[in-house]
Amino acid sequence: MSHKLNTPKGTRDFSSLELKKRNYLLKVLRDSFKSFNFQEIQTPSFENLSTLTDKYGDEEDSLMFKILSSGEKVKKADISSLNDGKLSKFANSISDKALRYDLTVPLSRFVQQNLNEITLPFKRFQTQLVWRADRPQKGRYREFLQCDVDIIGEKNFLNEVECIKVYDHVFENLGLPKLVLRINNREILEGISKIMNLESLSEISSTLDKSDKIGIDGVVDELSKKGMKTKSIDKLIFLLNIKGSNKSKIDLVRKEFNSKNIPSNAIDSIEEIINTCNQFKLNNIEIEFDLSLARGLGYYTGTIVEVSSPKDFSLGSIGGGGRYDDLVQKNNPKLSGFGISFGFDRIFLILEELNLFPNLLDSSKSFLFLNFGTDKISYFIDSVNQLRKDCIVCEIYPVDVKIKKQLDYANKKGIDFVVIIGDDELKKDIFKVKDMSKGDELTFMQIDSLAEKIKEIS
Amino acid sequence: MSHKLNTPKGTRDFSSLELKKRNYLLKVLRDSFKSFNFQEIQTPSFENLSTLTDKYGDEEDSLMFKILSSGEKVKKADISSLNDGKLSKFANSISDKALRYDLTVPLSRFVQQNLNEITLPFKRFQTQLVWRADRPQKGRYREFLQCDVDIIGEKNFLNEVECIKVYDHVFENLGLPKLVLRINNREILEGISKIMNLESLSEISSTLDKSDKIGIDGVVDELSKKGMKTKSIDKLIFLLNIKGSNKSKIDLVRKEFNSKNIPSNAIDSIEEIINTCNQFKLNNIEIEFDLSLARGLGYYTGTIVEVSSPKDFSLGSIGGGGRYDDLVQKNNPKLSGFGISFGFDRIFLILEELNLFPNLLDSSKSFLFLNFGTDKISYFIDSVNQLRKDCIVCEIYPVDVKIKKQLDYANKKGIDFVVIIGDDELKKDIFKVKDMSKGDELTFMQIDSLAEKIKEIS
């Protein structure tokens, strides 16, 4: 090959060792989800564009990987849109599918399509890849694994609490330090917009969403540039700067809302969630009511949550979620949803840096049968067949090259034991087992007893 | 929603029940691969087009799902190619990536990229999705799971034998009836082309590849239409029609080759593989030397194999593979590859129809804690937390609606036991556990002992 081959930008290969770690993390997540009786579903990697678009927001829509229509269908290319610079319209003329951007919108399509078969409240988990044409950076990839639990059914704050408890359960099982989960509610943000005399929440939410990156000063700057009145900004900053316990924050916001006659159900709901979480005894999560939390995705309508990475990690959030009343069906209170997502790759990085992966990711021992000629294999193939049936890892070196080369292979591959049955051993009806880490070599009588002896060792 | 939402053509959702079955099959495959000491890798879902194209063949290239370049990049659209009807060239002007078409070409890219890190012979397994814009039909989807084992290293027939033994091991573990594995060699097909005075193998291989669908008569028809001489066709039909044991077929082909001075290493190799397979004691596989086997993919250069579905299933092959000398690196005898693939979805259909899935796919019992008001949850939440840590499936009904509705939910979801702690029970410090399948209700003393008692039941 003349040119260097690579994985596409923002994507990765995984080696066997990395996968052992990834499979460990995935198992902790999946076992946790199961212990809360979430049921697994899987959806296709791509969805019809009509399913995906106009759910997340314009910026997010532009980050979807669209799939080019195949064969003759590209003839439908809308050249005039291309010439007019309407690139998105042009793209949609030759594409009707895109790789999934998250797991929530596919879930909502699944629920709509299978309403007659599923039992409400529908508690599902899903651990699949998602794709975003984002700028890659540490802990952010263009292909990454998302692990979600969601509950679709009547709106009930206990669903929020159960999902927060799932976070707590997983983080505790992984041995992570105590993490902060920030909570807010889109309706509270709407209320704040009203207090500020804004037309809609969207005028400030994209700015707020950046507040943990650009700080309060940055928020002020950006809102001023957007032409927002100083008085409004001051009000916002006053609200964002409320310090103290969750209770004191809730009290202050409630007072503010009451004085402007803004309904405060959302504040009651936050209070109920926080109180019930206390009752549920979270071990690994500290909840913090944070008025600056906005969350980017367009479909959230109520509670929103986000888990920050531990202090000293500049990885951003390692999980987040929220309530979406209208995603499955508009104005159907029986099909409100709440769900959370785990940022698998960022959690992986944290486990790695904090040395939290178990030492023994794979306890099964491996055996390499040295090759002294194909004709000798028949003396031990029955044993190998039997051992493999018992899930004991056995490998036969594929060719009778020099023993040194075969041992070298065993060393490099991290084989635990090497089994030696050459001419000498056959003559004496014995076999030798060499422990590759210690260097010891044991001799056993009777090749017949091979499977039995190796089972004892393994 | 005004329009009906669906999964894209040729793709599927999987429900929790289907996934339990799929996860069972996947586990049998993965455990088998591990017991032969294949090491797992994963590669990205899409690859650069330059990695994928010109490896499989023109028809296959046209079935790849290409990914549209994002943002401004679509401005590079080559409109003149579109106008000239050069659709593939047009497509490539606005796409530089495609979803992977199989797992072998990504593996070859992986090996090239990581040559310094891997140990040869490199035995890897990979169980990931692949995508083909094929016409969907029974057992054929546009997104499907492929499960592959491959060995990259020096060419050695024992690698073929080990992989065939993996087929045998898996099919036996799944309880499938004896299956026929057809074997041939691309070099033998080349030899036959020479006998027929053809310029290249490709003139007949695409026709041969259809022989199990269109029959020998169909092959004759198609080759005549392609303008092939009757004498050549007769010779081909003579070879294809050789009946009898593998040995007699091998002898006849060898005689034919010798008389034309065509090297017969490939025939020796087939013979060695078949003999060594006998030595390896296959339980579930019968090997049949089949000169009509061609295999579609362009990268095969030596041994090719294919496993047919059991008699009475018109599903086509459920697995196939072959040797590729030049895919990883041209003319590097140290990097020849042999690998096989399992057609997960077709095997799934066969297990389903033959009733071969275990009855008990999930042995863990589930418990639903009825909701008599959020204030009561604190009496049992510690126990629930403890049980979930022990991986016992516990669920709390999210709202204190009528008990009938909660029991209805338990029934529909297939919950095994319902736990009852209402006012009455709290007063008496007792709890009740109802067995949902039998209808029995047991009463236990001391709510403190909840976790302990439920562990005994589960």
List the beta strands (DSSP E) in B262-356: 285-289, 303-308, 317-324, 336-343
Q: Distance (Å) from the C-alpha of residue A53 to the closest C-alpha of chain B?
A: 13
From residue B96, how far is each of A252, A306, B17, B400 by CA, in Å? 54, 35, 38, 55
Q: Look at residue B122 and tell me whether its pLDDT is greater than 60.
A: yes
Which residues touch B225 (CB under 8 Å, ≥6 apart)? none
What would the two tokens of residue A393 be? Answer: 């890892």
B367 membership: H or E segment, kind and range:
strand B366-369
Residue B331: CB atoms within 10 Å:
7
Q: Which of residues 145-204 of A touch B (CB under 8 A)?
A: 151, 153-154, 156, 158-159, 162, 169, 173
- Name the pLDDT band for A3 (thresholds 50, 70, 90): low
| Minimum Cα–Cα distance from B84: chain A residue | A75
Chain A partners of B112 at a C-beta cutoff of 8 Å? 1, 5
pLDDT score at B356: 97
Q: Look at residue B376 and tell me whether its pLDDT is greater than 80.
A: yes
Q: How far apart are CA A327 and CA B399, in angstroms?
A: 22
Mean pLDDT of chain A: 93
Please give the average per-residue pLDDT across A275-301, as a whole number.
Answer: 92
Q: Look at residue B173 and tell me whether its pLDDT is greater than 70.
A: yes
Note whether B228 and B205 are within 8 A (CB): no
Q: How far apart are CA B448 and CA B294, in angstroms?
A: 69
Give the model confidence (pLDDT) of A194-228 as tens digits: 888 776 677 677 777 777 778 888 888 888 888 78
Q: Is B16 on the interface with A (CB under 8 A)?
A: yes
Q: Is B111 left (phi over 0), alpha (psi -120 to 50) or beta?
A: alpha
pLDDT score at B67: 97
Note whether A148 and A125 are within 8 A (CB): yes
Note whether A290 and A242 are within 8 A (CB): no
Chain B partners of A25 at a C-beta cutoff of 8 Å? none
pLDDT score at B348: 97
Q: What percent of chain B has pLDDT over 90?
A: 76
Note whether A310 and A114 are within 8 A (CB): no
Sign, CA torsion A14/A15/A16/A22: negative
Pairing state of beta strands B366-369 and B393-396? parallel
Chain B partners of A53 at a C-beta cutoff of 8 Å? none
Q: Look at residue B420 and tell me whether its pLDDT is greater than 80.
A: yes
When scoring A1, A149, A336 by the number of chain B Cβ atoms within 10 A, the one with the most, hence best to mutate, is: A1
Note whether A36 and A185 are within 8 A (CB): no
Please give the average per-residue pLDDT across A104-122, as a whole number.
Answer: 96
Q: How far apart are CA B117 and CA A136, in angstroms?
A: 25
Please give the average per-residue pLDDT across A342-370, as a whole number.
Answer: 94
Please give the average per-residue pLDDT across A261-269, as a whole number.
Answer: 91
- Name the pLDDT band for A2 (thresholds 50, 70, 90): very low
Give, as one character, the DSSP assignment of residue B448. Answer: G
pLDDT score at B3: 54
8 Å CB contact of B158 and A37: no
Q: Which residue has the higher pLDDT, B451 or B292?
A: B451
pLDDT score at B424: 96
B430 membership: H or E segment, kind and range:
strand B430-435
Note whether B106 and B100 are within 8 A (CB): yes
Q: Shortest CB distance from A41 goes to which of B16, B153, B371?
A: B16
In degrees rounded to 5, what are phi and psi of residue A371?
A: -105, 110
Pairing state of beta strands B39-40 and A430-435? unpaired
What would the two tokens of residue B383 be? Answer: 């126990």
Q: What percent of chain A has pLDDT over 70?
A: 98
Question: Angle at CA B292, nearest 5°, toward B286 and B298?
Answer: 105
Chain B partners of A123 at a C-beta cutoff of 8 Å? 395
Chain A partners of B3 at a C-beta cutoff of 8 Å? 50
Place of tokens 């509950």: A151
pLDDT score at A350: 97
Provide the residue count of chain A.
Answer: 458
Q: Look at residues B190, B176, B147 and name the one whose alpha carbon lies nearest to residue B31.
A: B147
Chain A partners of B4 at a C-beta cutoff of 8 Å? 113
B388: β partners = none
Give the model confidence (pLDDT) of A18-29 as tens digits: 999 999 999 999
When scoring B113, B120, B158 by the number of chain A Cβ atoms within 10 A, the one with the most, hence best to mutate, is: B158
Across B244-265, b (16+ Cβ under 10 Å) vs e yields eebeebbebbbebbeeeebebe
Q: Shortest CB distance from A329 goes to which of B1, B74, B95?
A: B1
Which residues touch A98 (CB under 8 Å, ≥6 apart)? A46, A47, A49, A52, A64, A65, A66, A67
Please give the average per-residue pLDDT across A118-131, as a whole number.
Answer: 97
Q: Look at residues B152, B39, B48, B151 and name the one whose alpha carbon lies nearest to residue B100.
A: B48
ipTM confidence: 0.94
Q: Shortest CB distance from B280 goes to which of A36, A120, A381?
A: A381
Q: Look at residue B325 and tell me whether its pLDDT is greater than 90.
A: yes
Q: Look at residue A296 and tell me whether its pLDDT is greater than 80.
A: no
Note whether A220 and A306 are within 8 A (CB): no
Q: How far apart are CA B316 and CA B307, in angstroms?
A: 9
Q: Look at residues A126, A29, A169 and name the one whose alpha carbon lies nearest to residue B387.
A: A169
Q: How far apart are CA A363 and CA A343, in angstroms?
A: 27
Give the model confidence (pLDDT) of A434-454 as tens digits: 999 999 999 999 999 999 999
Q: Which residue has the higher pLDDT, A242 or A278?
A: A278
Note whether A189 and A302 are within 8 A (CB): no
Question: How many beta-carbon pairs below 8 A join chains A and B?
Answer: 289
What would the two tokens of residue B159 be? Answer: 């690698």
From residue B384, how far is each of B377, B402, B443 by CA, in Å? 10, 22, 18
pLDDT score at B126: 98
Secondary structure of chain A as H, E, C letters: CCCCCCCCCCCCCECHHHHHHHHHHHHHHHHHHHHCCCEECECCCEEEHHHHCCCCCHHHHHCCCEEECCHHHHHHCCHHHHHCCCHHHHHHHCEEEEECCCCHHHHHHHHHHCCCCCCCCEEEEEEEEEECCCCCECCECCEEEEEEEEEEECCCHHHHHHHHHHHHHHHHHHCCCCEEEEEEEHHHHHHHHHHCCCCCCHHHHHHHCCHHHHHHHHHHHHHHHCCCCHHHHHHHHHHHCCCCCHHHHHHHHHHHHHHCCCCCHHHHHHHHHHHHHHHCCCCCEEEEECCCCCCCCCCCCCEEEEEECCCCCCCCEEEEEEEECCCCCCCCHHHEEEEEEEEHHHHHHHHHHCCCCCCCCCCCCEEEECCCCHHHHCCCHHHHHHHHHCCCEEEECCCCCCHHHHHHHHHHHCCCEEEECCHHHHHHCEEEEEECCCCCEEEEECHHHHHHHHHHHC
8 Å CB contact of A45 and B329: no
pLDDT score at B248: 93
| Minimum Cα–Cα distance from A14: chain B residue | B42
- Name the pLDDT band for B1 (thresholds 50, 70, 90): very low
What would the two tokens of residue B316 be? Answer: 């086509």
Place of tokens 């296709």: A44
Q: Look at residues A184, A189, A107, A120 and name the one whose alpha carbon lies nearest to residue A333.
A: A120
Q: Look at residue B197 and tell me whether its pLDDT is greater than 80.
A: no
List the single range of A125-139, A170-184, A209-223, B95-109 with lowest mean pLDDT: A209-223
Q: Look at residues A417, A425, A393, A446 and name the one whose alpha carbon lies nearest to residue A16.
A: A393
Q: Is B217 on the interface with A (CB under 8 A)?
A: no
pLDDT score at A304: 97
Domains and CATH numbers, chain A: 16-64+101-353 (3.30.930.10), 366-457 (3.40.50.800)
Q: Shortest CB distance from B391 goes to which of A31, A396, A409?
A: A31
Q: Look at residue B2 and tell me whether its pLDDT is greater than 60.
A: no
pLDDT score at A263: 85
Peptide bond before A121: cis, by omega within 30 degrees of 0?
yes
Pairing state of beta strands B179-185 and B122-131? unpaired
pLDDT score at A1: 41
What would the two tokens of residue A309 be? Answer: 């990475």
Q: Is B91 on the interface with A (CB under 8 A)?
A: yes
